[in-house]
Amino acid sequence: MSGDSCSLDCAHCRGHFLKNMTDLGELLASEASDKRSFLISGGCDREGRVFLPSQEKMSLLGKRGRLNFHVTLVDEEQLNKIIPWAHTISQDLHGDERVIREVLGLNKSFSDYADSYRRVWSRTRVIPHILVGLGGESFEGEKRVVKLLENFPPPAVIFLVYLPLIKSAIVPQKPPPVDKVIHFLSWAKSRLEGIPLVMGCMRPGGKYRAELDRGVLNLGFAGLVQPSCSVSGPIISKECCALWDW
């Protein structure tokens, strides 16, 4: 974790995902482990940029294994700091204007995310992440992102499914219906022909996950992270899915 706070305090997270992250300083102070790679993530500033570790810390951690930087909006200055140490950049992309303004609390637009993605795409290996259902069941924002990726194809695309954590009128209180998610993923697969698609780790559990996982495998997804016990994923790896050898 590159930072234990988030200036955005998004309506769908409220810093929840920061709680289980390992502090980077503690990690570097510990003895070298058998881990081959590390995911660098953390909270964001008011511009939607993930707080970055110092160059010294990135250099030290890079000597222990490959680094995957999980980011959102990235400007040229931040990208220049990341590139020397990054094996992969994982980038969240949002296409729903209401979600960007009201849920994420950013004075930004889809064009800002598109510009940021193209900036990273032109310079290094980037794996986009699409969160399905944060804006409701229409998936119009998610479709805008898929259409962007058609013109700027990445090595792979990781899909996530909205997991309700916060009681708020701003965000849905239930995950999107499984059948609608599978229908959208089928559409996305038809548009992103030839690009490996992956169902990432963030998605509801229980029966929902089991049904979704079966649907994803039936669609021919290239990877399935932390599959439910009722299915077997096509790829087995102990590393972050963005670091798989696509």
Confidence of residue 234 (pLDDT cuts 50, 70, 90): low
Could you give the percent of the chain with pLDDT greater than 90? 59
Distances (CA, A) of 146 to 94, 111, 120, 216, 238: 10, 14, 17, 17, 28
CA distance linking residue 218 with residue 208, whole number of Å: 16
- Paired residues of 158 in beta bridges: 129, 198
CB atoms within 10 A of CB 120: 23
Residue 28 above 80 pLDDT?
A: no
* Average pLDDT, integer, range 46-67: 87
DSSP string, 181-229: HHHHHHHHHHHSTTS-EEE-S-S--HHHHHHHHHHHHHHT-SEESS--T
Predicted local confidence at residue 96, as pLDDT:
97
Q: What pLDDT does residue 134 have?
A: 95
* pLDDT tens figures, 185-226: 999 999 999 999 999 999 999 999 999 999 999 999 998 888
Mean pLDDT over each residue of the chain, to the nearest integer: 88
Whether 246 shows a pLDDT value over 90: the answer reads: no
Indicate whether 18 pLDDT > 70.
no
Model pLDDT for residues 103-137, shown as the tens digit of each residue: 999 999 999 999 999 999 999 999 999 999 999 99
Determine the Cα–Cα distance for residues 196 and 183; give it in Å rounded to an integer: 17
The predicted pLDDT at position 51 comes to: 86
Residue 24 has pLDDT above 90, yes or no: no
Q: Are 96 and 140 within 8 A, CB to CB?
A: yes
pLDDT in tens, 140-164: 999 999 999 999 999 999 999 999 8
Domains annotated on the chain, with CATH: 16-243 (3.20.20.70)
pLDDT band at 1 (very low <50, low <70, confident <90, very high): very low
